[in-house]
Structure 1
Amino acid sequence: MRTAFFALAFAALAAATPTSTPKRRSLALSPAGTSTPPSKDAFYDAPSGFQRAANGHVFKARPVWTPFDSEASAAYQVLYKTTLATGGDAVTAATLFAPLEPVSPPRIMVLAAPIDSACRDCEVTFVLHNGSKSNATDFLLKSVAIDIFAGLHKGWYVAVPDHEGPNAAYIAGVQEAFGVIDGLRAMLNFPNILPKTDDYKAVIHGYSGGAHASAWANQFLPTYGSELNVVAAAYGGTPVSVSFDGLASISGGGSFLFWGALVGLSNAYPELDHFIRHQLFPNGTEAFEAARSLCNTQLGEYLGDKSLVSFFRNGAKTFTFSTALKYSKLGQLGEPVKKDISPAATTDGIVRRPTLMYHSSTDDIVPYAPVPAYVESQCKQGAKILFETAPGLTHTTAAIMWTADAYNFLESAFDGKLKLDKCQQKTGITTELGTDDFVAAIGQSAWNLIQSQMQSAS
């Protein structure tokens, strides 16, 4: 069911039929999106011969009606070519939005959503259109809504990809990087939304699980996305370390996230999937399969208050075996990824674009401790990162509080006014919640959603 937050949002929005811009080439359009989930919707199926297409090629498209039609002149779902983490060819989907009053030359924001599930039917393209019956988390809906409204208000084109790919490879950084980068290519290849690409600039943005995807895309840009004009990135609440070691002590509340991450990585890597399956007790196998058919927050009845290692025949020792260690290392942001792991493209782990990272030192979901060490390591290797931190904020609250700072940073990059010649660190948030400057940075529609969220939480 939709939250009270979204009920308010939907009630305030008038449904509008998207308009199309002139096309550079002919593309057959399917009917508008329905309540059919991706696993049963033929739109998401790869067409014959898709392997021959270039990454970012758009195979299918259909107009969709969304809660954001008051700020968008058009919205489409597209199916585009991408690459699996293991190097194979694949397709995935994205929702593309055109603003009412586009800035010229065009500005594009690739928004990586906190999908945070290893189930294909929890993907963000399914969540975003009217009539969807997705069971995705409220956090996904709320955070994506604010960002889409903010980007469209600024006159930016917005691409929201299913960056986990066709196998719902949650937290698999290589897969997420390819999905994000090819999502930008899909926008550039789809004239129904973006009629001209001359002198375009692009940015990458995301929070939480979306920050994980954004950060991985950022470090793969020099290789997998070298021709793309991405001028900056901004992300917060970033999981920089996804280690299996921590599973030994996890139970209760947030355990579904870590279980989903383990299943998501297994979705990406058949070797890991085979290993995990042979380590599980029967109740572990049941929970493992449940994570592939349910959104993360629905896993409570399978996980309960059990320690996650209780599902494994060898307990905590499971994660000391060589296969587990191999993929646990792959979960460390900033570490080099070589050809034997990622045949399609490698990375030295260093971000080359100006980047804003923000993270509350009292984050209750994504650990803060590894983040300053990651930033320090990046800075020593030549990265240009503005790292902002503040105490006293939960993970969810921080996402709201830093909204204006993130958009001001990205707009400065678009304007060519960003001065970040070297790493900088700052304590506190520059643009205070609710001030005129805050509202101006994100627009009235995004601010209305934030107010609705605050009211429903009080």
Structure 2
Amino acid sequence: MSCLRVIVFALLLVCPVAMGEAAAEPPAPAAPAIPGLPALPIPTDGGSTLPDLQRWIDGVIPPPPIAAGPQVPDPMQEAATLPPALAALRQASAPSAIGDPIFDAWPANLDDYAPGELVEVRDVSATAVPLVLVPIRQALLLKYRTTDSRGAASYATATLIIPATVWPGPGSRPVVVNNLPIDALGRACTPGYTLAHGWSPNTSITDFLPPTTQLATLRGYAVLVPDHEGPWMAYAEPYVAGHAVLDAIRAVRGLRPDEFGDSRFGMTGYSGGAIATNGAVKLIESYAPELAGSIVGAALGGVPADYEILGRSMNGNLASGVFLAATFGVGRERPEILASMNNLAQWAATSPLKDLCGSVFGAVGVLMLPIDIAAKIPDPLHSEVATEIYDVTRMAGMRSAAPLYIYNGEQEFWIPAEGARNLYREQCDLGVSAVYRSVPGEHIIAGALGYPEAMIWLDQRLQGMPANNEC
């Protein structure tokens, strides 16, 4: 039986156990599921069988062969500090190249660049115009230096869309920073790749709905769309995303200082885009203090602000595919997560699954797999590794340097309002001007119902109106 068949067979066997099915009476020990291999553990009255199941998975499935291949640059120099097997696994789990150097190629002498300094600029108007749908003067793909989660030099890309019309208001043209919910593991899934190469099956509908880019452009604002997961596609890692967003603003100001050097910048982000927005506003004071007066507000909704809460709400249900992908995305920057993966998860992490877009891995949620089947440690969501990740990604006590508009669905079951309300109370206690709106509905309905007022609030900030404080 091939390794792929073993993996599929293991998943089929695991699902009923992981989902809580049990015999009416404690059964006798099972015969081996496959001749010569350990028996699949069967639930008894003795409690959870998941640790036994984890051991069974590693007994059935060998570790993947990790062949030597092109090395992804490692700015964290993890290869020098990690055990060799883990360093090799991290390299093998990196996103695949997509054949375009502006996204793939690690710039030479990147340490010599300042954060936000431009590395390359490409005019992508020809491919972006049919997708933006409203008149624009130019679309520019920017590649710039940024900083990873550990403080080392990295790079990111972003697309600047400039309206065809002259800015009718006073001062410089404002810029909407549209932090889209990229929610993806592959480089071909980013909005920058779509705008540079045209519509593809990897393009997410959330790149266009709600139509923030179109409405802002018609309003006369420029729009900046960062690819905020960085070159490692570190989905859901807030430091990577926050740095990439702030450095995108620096790149725009450096590209055309006469046009955008004095512009107001306002951010918006929903769901995965809220991770980037939250990370960015909390990093302004420590990472980009010169932008504090230019970033006039941030509207964020459906906010995944606390991954400990998400571990309770998204694990082992229809959201589990997204939860597993986000855990792996954070693990690309924080290899302690990769070190906790069992052989089954390592096969997935080094297979074509590592390049999936959100619309694909989201469908995996129909299996409702708990994260335990991907781990080799018992109760992984309450482990020391998990506690450390919760503390780091929560970014607790970090103050936003911009006014905030926070909204969340009151009936939200996958990204509960508890996290957004806690964020609002935290920022109020830190002296931030903030507004919170509880919106009817779950994630999709709340996103639609909360969007208009959030955009009105952001528009007022870009027009120079002071933010109202409801703390």
Does structure 1 retain, via aligned residues, the 8 Å contact 2:145–2:247? yes
Q: 2:106 matched to which residue of 1?
A: 46
**2:295 matches 1:230:** yes
Q: Is the 8 A contact 2:176 2:267 kept in 1?
A: yes
1:62 aligns with 2:125: no
Q: 1:423: which partner in 2? A: 470
Q: Deviations over 1:158-211 (max 9, x none)?
A: 1111111110111111111101100111111223xx752343211111111101
State the Cα distance separating 1:129 from its structure 2 match: 4.1
The 1-side partners of 2:162 and 2:207 are apart by 21
Asked if 2 retains the 8 angstrom alpha-carbon contact of 1:236 and 1:357, the reply is yes
The residue type equivalent to 2:376 in the other structure is R
> In the superposition, relative to structure 1, how do residues 189 and 69 fare at CA in structure 2: closer, same or farther (>3 Å)?
farther
Instruction: Report the Cα distance in structure 2 between the residues aligned to 1:58 and 1:249, rounded to whole angstroms.
Output: 38
Within the alignment, does 1:111 sit opposite 2:111 as a pair? no
Q: Is 2:143 the partner of 1:79?
A: yes
From 195, 214, 229, the counterpart of 1:128 = 195
Question: Equivalent residue of 1:387, what SS?
Answer: strand
* Partner residue, 1:12: none
The answer as to whether partners of 2:172 and 2:262 remain within 8 angstroms in 1 is yes
Using a 3 Å threshold, how does the CA distance of structure 1 residues 283 and 198 change in structure 2: closer, same or farther?
closer
User: What residue identity is the alignment partner of 1:139?
Assistant: T
* Larger Rg over CA atoms: 2
Deviations 1:205-242 (A, max 9, x none): 11111011101101111121110111111111111111
Pair 251,269 (structure 1): closer, same or farther in 2 beyond 3 Å: same
| CA distance in 2 between partners of 1:235 and 1:226 (Å) | 21
Partner of 1:306, secondary structure, is coil
Q: 3-state SS of the aligned residue for 2:444?
A: helix
TM-score under structure 2 normalisation?
0.72
Partner of 1:326: 388
How big is each residue's C-alpha offset from its partner over 1:77-133, in whole Å with a ceiling of 9 and x where there is no partner?
111110111111111111110012243422111111101123333222113345342
Gaps of 5+ in 2: 1-95
Residue 26 of structure 2 corresponds to none
Structure 1 residues 366-399: Cα deviation after superposition (integer angstroms, max 9, x where no partner): 21122222212221221111111122x2312222
Verify the 8 A CA contact 2:264 2:295 in the aligned structure 1.
yes
Q: How does 1:255-266 map to 2 (within 5 A)?
A: 255-266=320-331
For 2:139, what is the secondary structure of its paired residue? Answer: strand
Give me the whole-angstrom Cα distance separating, in 1, the residues matched to 2:376 and 2:322: 21
Please point out which of 411, 416, 430 is paired with 2:459: 411
User: Percent of aligned positions with the same letter in both sequences?
Assistant: 22
Contact 1:351/1:383 (<8 A) preserved: yes
Contact 2:135 2:164 in 1 (8 A): yes
1:19 corresponds to: none
1:385 aligned to 2:447? Answer: no
The alpha-carbon deviation at position 254 of structure 1 amounts to 1.2
1:284 maps to 345
Give the match for residue 358 of structure 1: 407
Superposed displacement of residue 38, structure 1: 5.7
Taking the aligned partners of 2:456 and 2:241, their CA distance within structure 1 comes to 25
Amino acid at match of 2:304: P
Q: CA deviation at 1:302?
A: 9.2
Amino acid at match of 1:214: T
What's the secondary structure of 2:160's corresponding residue? strand
CA contact (8 A) 2:318 2:366 kept: no
Q: Classify the secondary structure of the residue corresponding to 1:203.
A: strand
Structure 2 CA distance for partners of 1:397 and 1:96, relative to 1, 3 Å = same
Partner of 1:27: none
Shift of 1:148: 0.5
Contact 1:243 1:331 in 2 (8 A): no
What amino acid is the match of 1:75?
Answer: A
The amino acid that maps onto 1:286 is W
Aligned to 2:8: none
**Secondary structure of the structure 2 residue equivalent to 1:402:** helix
| In 2: Cα distance, 1:303 partner to 1:173 partner | 27
Equivalent residues in 2 for 1:266-345 (5 A)?
A: 266-273=331-338, 275-277=339-341, 280=342, 282-290=343-351, 291-299=353-361, 300=363, 304-316=367-379, 318-333=380-395, 335=396
Distance 2:203 2:320 in 1: 16
TM-superposed CA distance for 1:156, in Å, is: 1.0
CA distance in structure 1 between the partners assigned to 2:384 and 2:374 by the alignment = 19
**1:243-258 pair list within 5 angstroms:** 243=308, 246=311, 250-258=315-323
What is the CA–CA distance in structure 2 between the aligned matches of 1:214 and 1:419, rounded to whole Å?
Answer: 18
Q: Pick from 164, 174, 189: which aligns with 2:229?
A: 164
Show the counterpart of 1:218.
281
In structure 2, C-alpha distance between the alignment counterparts of 1:305 and 1:390, rounded to whole Å? 27
TM-score (norm 1): 0.74
Is residue 212–residue 240 contact of structure 1 (8 Å, CA) maintained in 2? yes
Counterpart code for 1:423: E
Asked if the contact 1:247–1:309 (Cα under 8 Å) also holds between the matched residues in 2, the reply is no
- Over the aligned positions, Cα root-mean-square deviation in angstroms equals 2.4
- 1:359 counterpart SS class: strand
Cα deviation for residue 249 of structure 1 reads 7.2
- Deviation track 1:282-328 (CA, whole Å, cap 9, x = no partner) reads 32222333542211332345982322212323342x33332332112
